[in-house]
Structures are given as C-alpha cells and as structure tokens.
Amino acid sequence: MPIDYSLYLVTGRDLLPEGTTYIKSLEESLRGGVTVVQVREKNVDTLEFLEIARQSKALCDKYQVPLIINDRVDIALAVNADGVHLGQTDMPVHIARSLLPPNAIIGVSCNNLEHVQQAIRDRVDYIGIGPVWPTSTKKLANPVIGVRGVGSLLAALDGTTVKAVAIGGVKSDNLLRTLHGSMSPSGHKLDGIAVVSEIVASHEPYAISRTLRETYTAWDACTAEQKAKPSIAYTAENTKAGVANLMGIIQTTNPLIHQITNVVATNQSANATLALGASPIMATAPEEMEDLSRVLGALLINFGTVTDKAGMILAGKYANCERKPIVFDPVGVGATQFRRETAAQLLNTWQASVIKGNAGELGALAESQEVKAKGVDSVGSGFADPANFVKNLARRERCVIALTGKTDWVSDGTTVVKLDNGHELLGNITGSGCMVGTCIATFCAAAFTQANTESKPSMPVRGDMLLGAVGGILALTIAGEAAANRSDVRGSGTFLPALIDELYNLRPETVLEKARIQVIS
C-alpha cells in the first residue's frame, strides 16, 4: 500500500508540555490527522527505546498509520515497525535493507545534491530534506537550505519514485510558503512535511495536527487542480478589460498599500498610491508588521536603501500568513554582496507574489551573466530572449515576474505579456521604477479583493497577480505618456507632478484605448 507522507510526525518526548503524557499527545496527533509516525529517541537506553516503540506501534496500528524507527534497525525489527529512518552517519542503506523485511520502508536524511543522488542509487523509499528553516529542536549539523534549496533537491528526484518530505522548523505559519516555495521549476512538489515541535510541544496536538493536515491537503489539491485544468487563456483584449475592472475595484475599495520603500522615492510613491485611489502607509518598524498585515491590501518591499531589513522580513512573513500579495522590488540587487544576500534571505523567508525589476536587477537575481548592472541601472541592450527569461524566472521563483524597460515583460511562468507603453521622460526622474512597484502593489490589492471569496487556505496568495502586475505597469506608463505630451511639461522637473496628475485622472476607458499589449503565449 502506498504511504501517505502528508503529515509525518517525528516524536520528541523532551518537548512535551507539562500535564500531558507521550501516549496521550501521540493519540491526539493521530486523531488530528498525522499520517506517518517516526519514533526518535536520542538519550535513552535500549530498553526504554524498545518500550516506547512498542507502545507507539500499538497506537499507530489502532489508527492504521505506519510507524518508522529513527536510526535503530534492531528496534524496528523487535517491534515489527514499518521501517527505519537513517541519517547520513547511520547504518548504510544496503546493510539496513539486508536486515529488514523486503517491504520495509527506508528513509534517509538529505541536505545536499550528493545525498539525494546517493539516496536514489540506494533506492530508498523517501528522503527527509532539511533543515528547511532554522530550528532549536536539535543541534544542526548541516546548513539551513531554505525553501529554494529544497526545490533544487526536489528537482533531482524528477523521474524517480522516491518520495520527499521537508523537515526543520516547519510550522503552521510557514507551511504554505514551505510547500509553494519549494516546488521545483519542473513542478516537482513535496509529498509531505515532517514536524517535531509544532505538534509535540503544543498543548493542543489534535488541533495543530488538524490544521497542518488540512492546509497540506488543500494546497495539494489546489496545485493538482491547477496542473490539470488549462491555464487562463489571456488575450490582449481580456487582459485590458481585466485591468480596467481592477481600476474600478481600487476606486471603490480604497485598499491600504503598505510600502517599505526607499528614502529617495517614499513621497512620490505615496502620492502615486493616492492618485490611483488607494491609501499608502509607509511603515517600517518591525513591531507594527503583524497588525498591519491584517488590514493591508498589498505589501510592497523595495530595497533601494536597505535600512529596514528586520521590518522587511517580518512584514513579508505576516503578509504570507494572511495570504496577502507581496510585491518585491529588489532595487540594485546586483550592486553589492549585501544586497544579493539580503534578497536571498528575504526570498527564502517569504513567498513573493510579484518580483519586479529592470534587466540588471532580475539578471542578478537569476544569476544570469547576460545583462550587467551599474548601481541601480541596467547596462546594455537587455536579454536576447526576454520572454523566455521572465517565464523561466517565474517558474523558479514560483511567482509573477515583471521585467521593466523600454518594453516591459510580465510572466506567471505560463503566459508572457509584452507591454509597449511609456515615455523616455520616465527614465529622467528618480523613482519612476519604484512608482511602478507601487502601482503594481495597488493593482495586486484589487486582484486580491476580487478573488477573496475562498475560505480555506490553499495558496500563499489569492487573485490574479499577472493581471495585477500588468495593470500597475500600464497605469504608470500610460499616465507617463499623457504627462509627457502635455504642453505645460517642459522637462523632467514639470514631468513628475504632471505624472501624478495623469495617474489621478486615468480612466479605465483610457487604458482600454491606449494600452499596447501583446500576449505572447
């Protein structure tokens, strides 16, 4: 019978809260929906381990859930467990296999590609990939690899039957990010999550197990459904109509756009938000991020001047918990090692809905050598194949990518939209790129509002973020054209206030008329 790895509980008796017993907690977890149990005992003698394993086996049998023993093949044999979990320094797989019954499950811990390749050669049943997040449950011998690291190891399992769970710091508040962010570009996803402290240390193991299981199941079903059904058939006409509709939603709902942006562009970004009909809040203190996440329509994180890293980390984490859109604008990410590391840290912590940047910035993020950057600007003529570049990066980052330039390109990994509005004066004022990010966040908030009907958590964000990104770009570039053509605009100094005016006066009909867009695929 195939094993359901969805919610894999690894035990930890030392973490049990006062007032409960191991068996009581385990039974509650099983009732809550745990699908596999691993008995992990690190500081006990053999007799005690044997007794705990024996009691666990009886309980797991009652719930028809497989029991795995950590490290000890002899204990697994003694209690007739379903299998063993082996670390990199434990008994080699081929020896364990020779000692265990033929259908025994064997799982192995993996932290890097060599581990995964060896596990495939050893024909193990599953791998435990970790640590995905920091954890204090055990002293870590291996580096934290983050969700994107998990994704690269999952890709190595393509074409094999080896199953995979992620372990290390997995909690209900990072579960969707863990699942979504670790899906490989080829679509390989986790078969489950392995959890110790979130369940074992809880006073409510039933409730927390239930939440974790339901979240996993909803996400799994949602991704399977998305894969099975044809993706939205975007056309230039329905995209423009969708953007016009989002403009109406902004006007009627006046969403709050939380922006952690750079000192150069804060004022004009706030004014652009207001001009579109939304409300800006430019809050940066970590202490206020949780409260804000509940009321915001979308979050923009722009690190043109990276002075609020702690706030950026927390804001994104809480926005993910609330499943609100996050627009990330990694300004000048290629310029310094600090920015590269910060971008990696942010993207390993939360799931962006849209990443927006110029060719130099997105090239640096993708570790492409094709386009170079100078400070915050891109150098050269851009990517030879921008459509494929945005599509591939969207698949890798599991979000919408908006590549800005003379021509703008947007992709969700399936569809690519080419946008040809704008005016050269936009390049002559500082912060026009930052304002594009603001406009995208505003349209994403409307897209989120439009889709906000589901009750069960299934994806890190709801709503059509591709449409949000296209809408934001169109608003600023069409307003830019209108401003540049005004007789009272005599240069970049008069252009900026005119741009805010034109954003304020922008109407859905104008977007329908002026938008120059092409849906490529």
Ligand X SMILES: Cc1nc(C(=O)O)sc1CCOP(=O)(O)O
In the chain, the amino acid numbered 458 is S
CB of 40 to ligand LCLJCK34, least distance (A): 5
- Binding part of the chain for ligand X, among 73-81, 127-135, 207-215, 400-408 by CB under 6 A, reads 127-135
d(CA 432, CA 440): 12
Identify what 357 binds: ligand X, ligand LCLJCK34, none; CB under 5 to 8 Å per kind: none
- Binding part of the chain for ligand X, among 168-176, 402-410, 411-419, 508-516 by CB under 6 A, reads 168-176
Of residues 43-72, which lie at the interface with ligand LCLJCK34 (CB under 6 A)?
70-71
Radius of gyration of the chain (CA): 25
CB of 33 to ligand X, least distance (A): 16
* Token pair 């795995």: residue: 68
**Strand 7-10 relative to strand 192-195: parallel, antiparallel, unpaired?**
parallel
Identify what 170 binds: ligand LCLJCK34, ligand X, none; CB under 5 to 8 Å per kind: ligand X
- Judged by CB, which is closer to ligand X: 107, or 422? 107
Of residues 274-333, which lie at the interface with ligand LCLJCK34 (CB under 6 A)?
none
d(CA 402, CA 480): 18
CB of 139 to ligand LCLJCK34, least distance (A): 9
Identify what 75 binds: ligand X, ligand LCLJCK34, none; CB under 5 to 8 Å per kind: none
- Binding part of the chain for ligand LCLJCK34, among 82-90, 267-275, 345-353, 460-468 by CB under 6 A, reads 82-90
Residue 483 binds ligand X (CB under 6 A): no
| Active-site residue identified among 399, 434, 439, 444 | 434
CB of 45 to ligand LCLJCK34, least distance (A): 17
Identify what 499 binds: ligand X, ligand LCLJCK34, none; CB under 5 to 8 Å per kind: none
Which one, of 85, 61, 65, lies nearest residue 73 by Cα?
A: 85
Which one, of 500, 492, 497, lies nearest residue 475 by Cα?
A: 500
d(CA 141, CA 111): 10
- Judged by CB, which is closer to ligand X: 191, or 408? 191
Residue 109 binds ligand X (CB under 6 A): yes
Residue 160 binds ligand X (CB under 6 A): no
- Judged by CB, which is closer to ligand X: 111, or 269? 111
CB of 6 to ligand X, least distance (A): 15
Alpha helices in 383-464 (DSSP H): 386-397, 432-451
CB of 9 to ligand LCLJCK34, least distance (A): 10
Identify what 286 binds: ligand X, ligand LCLJCK34, none; CB under 5 to 8 Å per kind: none
Identify what 169 binds: ligand LCLJCK34, ligand X, none; CB under 5 to 8 Å per kind: ligand X
* Token pair 């029991």: residue: 67
d(CA 56, CA 321): 33
What length does the chain have?
Answer: 521
Q: What is the DSSP letter of 232?
A: P
Q: Which residues of 480-491 are buried (b: 16+ CB within 10 A; e: fewer)?
A: bbbbbeeeebee
What is residue 416's three-state secondary structure?
strand
List, in order, residues 6 or more apart from 494 with CB less than 8 Å away: 488
- To the nearest 10 degrees (0 to 180), the angle between helices 113-121 and 146-155 is 30
> For ligand X, what does the binding mask look like between residues 128 and 157, x meaning CB under 6 A?
x-xx---x-xx-------------------
Identify what 197 binds: ligand LCLJCK34, ligand X, none; CB under 5 to 8 Å per kind: ligand X
What the block records as the tokens of 462 is 């709801």
Task: Compute the CA torsion angle 206, 208, 214, 215 (nearest 10 deg).
Answer: -170
Task: Compute the CA torsion angle 227, 232, 233, 235 (nearest 10 deg).
Answer: -140
CB-CB neighbours of 429 under 10 Å: 17
Concatenating the DSSP letter of every residue in 54-122 gives HHHHHHHHHTT--EEEES-HHHHHHHT-SEEEE-TTSS-HHHHHHHS-TT-EEEEEE-SHHHHHHHHHT
Active site residue 434: yes
Give the CA angle between residues 274, 324, 347 to the nearest 5°.
105
Identify what 382 binds: ligand X, ligand LCLJCK34, none; CB under 5 to 8 Å per kind: none
Do 505 and 511 touch, CB atoms closer than 8 A? no
Options 12, 32, 33, 128; binder of ligand LCLJCK34; rule CB under 6 A: 128
Of residues 171-200, which lie at the interface with ligand X (CB under 6 A)?
195-198
CB of 8 to ligand LCLJCK34, least distance (A): 6
* Active-site residue set: 434
Site residues, ligand X (CB under 6 A): 10, 109, 128, 130-131, 135, 137-138, 167-170, 195-198
Site residues, ligand LCLJCK34 (CB under 6 A): 8, 10, 38, 40, 70-71, 85, 87, 90, 107, 109, 128, 130, 138, 165, 167, 194
